[in-house]
């Protein structure tokens, strides 16, 4: 047998050193004699370091982290080209415990013969159900009603009447897996659904009852705009001040994708000046969101810490996906859902992976 050493980034842990997110699939690895895993403890929180939570979203994988590692499972940290400055002779695969991989330099991974795989299906329902939850919270004006109830101001209840989703227009930016799942979830509300998604399949959209159109028309016509697009360099601040100016003053904006897709200062201004009715945001241009950010001072926006879509069920599913990919690589097999498929054709990657073929059982 050849030992396949796996490192998990330390942000999976809590201050006691245990899993912060429940079952992430480690039990399956513990049953396999040729897999050994550990956590990168220098990336973990501790009671003695209150600054950790400000740094958690900017942690970076270093050459030391990957030096003796065959597999790396990453939650939040960045993987930049500098991580490979001393090469990656041992590293075979990186598993991104989630769907998005915009913090990983995929090209650098390919150049260093490292396959990157993710869990593209685990968050589809949770992301869509979070968007629906936000839509309902905004439409029913839940934060305002909760506030006046706590303050004993029942005399103000008529000032905060909400609206329904029924027969309103939903505009989806990015008709991928979670976008299509949102279409399924809103079906009982008889909403009119339009979408901006340049790479969407026209026939598939029509089968869902979705009309594909321009980004401008989605913003102009929608009562609820929900962002489901992947982040790429071209999509940074794709939605700017001129786009937000197209929205109805009664419309709501939901972002559970990536904060960088939207010009955040422009969105803050639109909310502050009541040019749109409200927003619900789980993601931000810079994370964590500063307590002094203008968004935190507004009463027409719901804010969550880039975790609203992440549940124990999601972490269990992503954990299983990561474990499955690691176990395949540990036997010299290609994981499912490899992002940089071109690396699979590189002889040097094939040679690295083949070193672990001896771990296969005969009938595998």
Is 76 within 8 Å of 97 (Cβ atoms)? no
- Rounded Cα distance between 308 and 263, Å, is 21
Active site residue 258: yes
Burial string for 315-342 (b: 16+ CB within 10 Å, else e) reads bbbbbbbbbbbbbbbbbbbbbebbbbee
Please identify which of the residues 82, 217, 285, 287 carries the catalytic annotation. Answer: 287
Q: How many residues does the chain have?
A: 364
Kind and range of the H or E run holding 148: helix 142-150
Is 326 within 8 Å of 71 (Cβ atoms)? yes
Nearest residue to 359 (alpha-carbon basis) of 71, 119, 116:
71
Please identify which of the residues 96, 168, 243, 306 carries the catalytic annotation. Answer: 306
237: left (phi over 0), alpha (psi -120 to 50) or beta: left
Burial of 96 (C-beta count, 10 Å sphere; 0-12/13-18/19+): buried
Cα distances (Å, whole numbers) of residue 223 to 54, 171, 351: 35, 8, 54
- Rounded Cα distance between 228 and 215, Å, is 13
Please identify which of the residues 76, 168, 243, 258 carries the catalytic annotation. Answer: 258
Q: Which residues are catalytic?
A: 258, 287, 306
């Amino acid at each position: 047998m050849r030992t396949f050493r796996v490192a998990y980034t330390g942000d999976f842990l809590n201050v006691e050193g245990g899993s912060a997110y429940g079952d992430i699939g480690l039990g399956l690895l513990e049953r396999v004699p040729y897999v050994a895993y550990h956590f990168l403890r220098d990336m973990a929180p501790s009671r003695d370091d209150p600054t950790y939570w400000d740094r958690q979203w900017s942690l970076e994988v270093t050459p030391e982290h990957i030096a003796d590692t065959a597999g790396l499972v990453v939650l939040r940290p960045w993987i930049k080209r500098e991580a490979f400055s001393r090469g990656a002779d041992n590293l075979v695969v990186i598993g991104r415990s989630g769907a998005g991989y915009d913090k990983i330099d995929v090209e650098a991974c390919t150049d260093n013969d490292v396959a990157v795989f993710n869990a593209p299906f685990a968050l589809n329902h949770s992301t869509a159900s979070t968007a629906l939850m936000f839509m309902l919270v905004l439409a029913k004006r839940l934060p305002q009603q909760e506030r006046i109830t706590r303050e004993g101001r029942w005399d103000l209840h008529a000032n905060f009447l909400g609206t329904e989703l029924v027969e309103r227009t939903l505009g989806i930016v990015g008709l991928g897996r979670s976008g299509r799942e949102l279409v399924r979830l809103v079906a009982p509300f008889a909403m009119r659904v339009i979408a901006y998604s340049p790479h969407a399949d026209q026939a598939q959209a029509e089968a869902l009852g979705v009309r594909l159109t321009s980004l401008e028309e989605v913003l102009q016509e929608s009562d609820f705009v929900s962002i489901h697009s992947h982040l790429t360099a071209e999509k940074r601040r794709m939605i700017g001040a001129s786009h937000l100016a197209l929205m109805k003053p009664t419309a709501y904006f939901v972002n559970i994708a990536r904060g960088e897709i939207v010009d955040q200062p422009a969105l803050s201004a639109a909310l502050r000046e009541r040019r749109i009715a409200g927003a619900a945001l789980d993601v931000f241009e810079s994370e964590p969101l500063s307590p002094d950010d203008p968004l935190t001072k507004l009463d027409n926006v719901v804010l969550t810490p880039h975790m609203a879509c992440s549940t124990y069920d999601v972490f269990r599913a992503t954990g299983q996906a990561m474990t499955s990919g690691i176990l395949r690589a540990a036997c010299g097999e290609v994981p499912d859902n490899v992002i940089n498929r071109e690396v699979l054709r590189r002889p040097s990657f094939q040679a690295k992976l083949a070193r672990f073929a001896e771990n296969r059982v005969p009938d595998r």
